[in-house]
């Protein structure tokens, strides 16, 4: 079992669903970077002990197998619950394969130079800039230890995986706006989008119900809802599905 030895270590948080072979490739690439550990939640996707051994991670790899699909936010909360205070984490999509060696070190340098709460990985920005569009989106991003301590876990009240990730980065923006850091920085770092580059990827995604998100955002901005979310907060089913015109129970998710 992996253990974080000091605050110089970064926890790479990966939640995989129905793509165990991709997960092996992504984990191997991450483990090429020094000073990181890879924590993985396998949401009923067949990521076996054989897959785990083939990664060659040893003590730097830790795997959770909850036996049901917790969604991306729920899977990451297992990691954040065990993350020592002050240790940064990287939310990495399960279809993102980093290309250039040294990418994790570069993200940390960008974060420190800009006093950023979050550094979002992008392929569209050459030199980097503070997030020019809405300060909330899903994707892969590095979160400072201080910001992660302040925010706690992913909010699971929507019942939709995309919204879990969107809401977390919005809370990071609110936290940064209160003067705690320089905000959310977008940095261009090349990577391979496995869903686009390889046949057989799981396409599509959740529509984000704007009204549902706006209600939650208003509560956070007004202080009605705290920025810190407990790691064991329950997932509330049905909201995102109903707002998006989908069935109350989406069969790919075990609520």
Topology, domain 10-243: Spore Coat Polysaccharide Biosynthesis Protein SpsA; Chain A (3.90.550)
Q: At residue 126, what are phi and psi to the nearest 5 degrees?
A: -80, -50
Q: Average the pLDDT over 232-255 and give the result.
A: 47
**Would strands 141-143 and 184-188 be described as parallel, antiparallel, or unpaired?**
unpaired
pLDDT band at 62 (very low <50, low <70, confident <90, very high): very high
Q: Average the pLDDT over 113-141 and give the result.
A: 73
Which pLDDT belongs to residue 204?
Answer: 44
Q: What angle do CA 222, 116, 132 make, to 5 degrees?
A: 75
Rounded Cα distance, 21 and 136, in Å: 30
pTM to 2 decimal places: 0.85
Which pLDDT belongs to residue 72?
Answer: 85
Q: Break the chain into its structural domains and give their ranges.
A: 10-243
Cβ neighbours around 249 below 10 Å, total: 12
Contacts of 7 (CB under 8 A, 6+ apart): 84, 86, 87, 88, 145
Residues linked to residue 11 through DSSP beta bridges, in sequence order: 37, 89
Does residue 200 register a pLDDT over 70? Answer: no
Share of the chain above pLDDT 90, in %: 45
At 145-192, the pLDDT tens digits run: 999 999 999 998 876 666 777 788 889 988 988 776 678 888 888 889
Contacts of 216 (CB under 8 A, 6+ apart): 155, 157, 158, 167, 225
């Amino acid at each position: 079992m992996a253990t974080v030895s000091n605050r110089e270590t970064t926890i790479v948080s990966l939640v995989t669903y129905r793509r165990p072979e991709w997960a092996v490739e992504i984990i191997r690439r991450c483990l090429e970077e020094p000073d990181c550990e890879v924590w993985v939640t396998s949401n009923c996707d067949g990521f076996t002990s054989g897959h785990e051994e083939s990664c060659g991670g040893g003590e730097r790899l830790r795997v959770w197998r909850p036996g049901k699909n917790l969604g991306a936010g729920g899977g990451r909360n297992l990691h954040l619950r065990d993350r020592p205070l002050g240790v940064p984490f990287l939310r990495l999509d399960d279809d993102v394969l980093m290309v250039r060696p040294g990418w994790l070190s570069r993200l940390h340098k960008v974060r420190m130079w800009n006093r950023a709460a979050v550094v979002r990985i992008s392929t569209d920005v050459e030199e980097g800039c503070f997030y020019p569009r809405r300060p909330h989106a899903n994707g892969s991003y590095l979160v400072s230890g201080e910001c992660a301590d302040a925010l706690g876990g992913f909010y699971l009240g929507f019942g939709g995986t995309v919204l879990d990730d969107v809401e977390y980065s919005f809370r990071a923006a609110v936290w940064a706006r209160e003067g705690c850091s320089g905000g959310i920085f977008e940095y261009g770092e090349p990577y391979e989008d496995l869903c686009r580059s390889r046949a057989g990827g799981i396409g599509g995604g959740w529509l984000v119900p704007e009204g549902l998100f706006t209600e939650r955002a208003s509560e956070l901005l007004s202080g009605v809802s705290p920025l810190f979310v407990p790691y064991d907060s329950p997932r509330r089913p049905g909201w995102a599905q109903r707002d998006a015109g989908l069935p109350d129970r989406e069969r790919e998710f075990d609520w």
